[in-house]
Amino acid sequence: MKIQTIKEADLSNKKVLLRADLNVPTKDGKVTDTTRIEAVKPTVDFLLKNNAQVIICSHFGRPKGEKKDELSLKHILPTIEEILEYEVQFIDDCIDIEVPDAPISLLENTRFHKEEKENDADFAQKLASHADIFVMDAFGAAHRAHASTEGVTNHLPSYAGLLLESEINSMAPLLDSKQIEKPLTLIIGGAKIDTKIGILNNFLDKADNIIIGGALANTFLLAQGHDVGKSLVEEDQVETAQEILMKASETGCTILLPKDVIVADEISKEATAIDIPIEDVELDMMILDIGKNTMESYVELIQNSKTIVMNGPLGLYEFPQFEAGTYVILEALAASNSTTIVGGGDSVDALNKFNIPHKKFTHISTGGGAMIEFLEGKQLPAIAPLIKS
């Protein structure tokens, strides 16, 4: 996949509308994870170095087309300035405003306008009117055809930023079996099958092994006839899970599910957790993590793989009793000399919780849903206009 990047653009003395992903987690008004802001800094630095004026736009939270002060980007402005190491001029709207003649400006939350998610052409044109060039660098929003991601490409010369280029260069080879260094192991966690069906089906003939964890594994265990007690499970997706297991046997892909699990009868910091074989799960037990024997077998598999892709945690890592599976697997990936790609908001959150350096991985994706859809083989609407013909 060849895309137009800012390295090919004439940026000197140009106003650049930069679509970043500043939808960062916050608590009590403070940013708790700066990964996405840090990820866009190289693009901002490149634009400034090439004498461009940078006008940043982004969404933040889910204001549903209404102006809500608690979801104003002004609240994260100090963190943005600290990471970018520049003063940033904040503008209290994103359309029908004058952009100051400053090195970096930040427009207000694009989703304060319902026309953003509707990909309204007039709204997109108003956004585009601020600039001479559009740079898309919000991979986490690339699977959305919104005015600030896809709509503006109809009005301005458009290029990929350094972050978006890195995301594509890291993951595009995974879509071509000939470019994958094998054995390839795919690790898929999370809760819902419907968000992961596409990637599972797309990799049944590419991956040597697929590890399924998290609540997602419960549905597959149920599909195999296991009792999962009162674990979170999607009973209406059991047939889908059975179909995936059947296809895997036909393609020669090995699907791995937990052989032992960590269970408890409640989800709390006081819960008593025990490690038992999957065959012993019953009654009020809830499966909340993978067991020690399963961890050891997964680590051995990772050590014998050349490419490992992980999206989603393997347990309820937010609680200390149920964090070991996710921690052990991430540590195994960090210690590996193979190609390691990790994505998804919970996966990155777990990395930060466990203080595992991002630099130990080949690539950390800033997209959750976008990563999944990209690896499904879908053409993402905000990337399609950037592809070279």
Domain 6-168 matches domain 176-375 at the CATH topology level: yes
Query: Can 345 be counted among the known catalytic residues?
Result: yes
| DSSP secondary structure code for residue 203 in this structure | H
pTM: 0.93
Query: Can 369 be counted among the known catalytic residues?
Result: yes
Catalytic residue, chosen from 14, 74, 192, 378, is 192
Give the residues of the chain that fall short of pLDDT 50.
none
Angle between helices 238-251 and 214-223 (to 10 degrees): 80
Query: Can 190 be counted among the known catalytic residues?
Result: no
- Best CATH choice for the domain 6-168 from the list 3.40.50.720, 3.40.50.300, 3.30.200.20, 3.40.50.1260: 3.40.50.1260
| DSSP secondary structure code for residue 100 in this structure | P
E strand or H helix at 214? helix 214-223
Name the fold adopted by 176-375: Rossmann fold (3.40.50)
- pLDDT number for residue 389: 77
Catalytic residue, chosen from 140, 151, 214, 345, is 345
Query: Can 62 be counted among the known catalytic residues?
Result: no
How far is 110 from 16, CA to CA, in rounded Å? 16
- pLDDT number for residue 345: 87
- pLDDT number for residue 194: 87
Q: Give the domain ranges of the chain.
A: 6-168, 176-375
* Nearest partner of 174 among 15, 306, 4, judged by Cα: 306
* Nearest partner of 321 among 273, 284, 285, 278, judged by Cα: 273
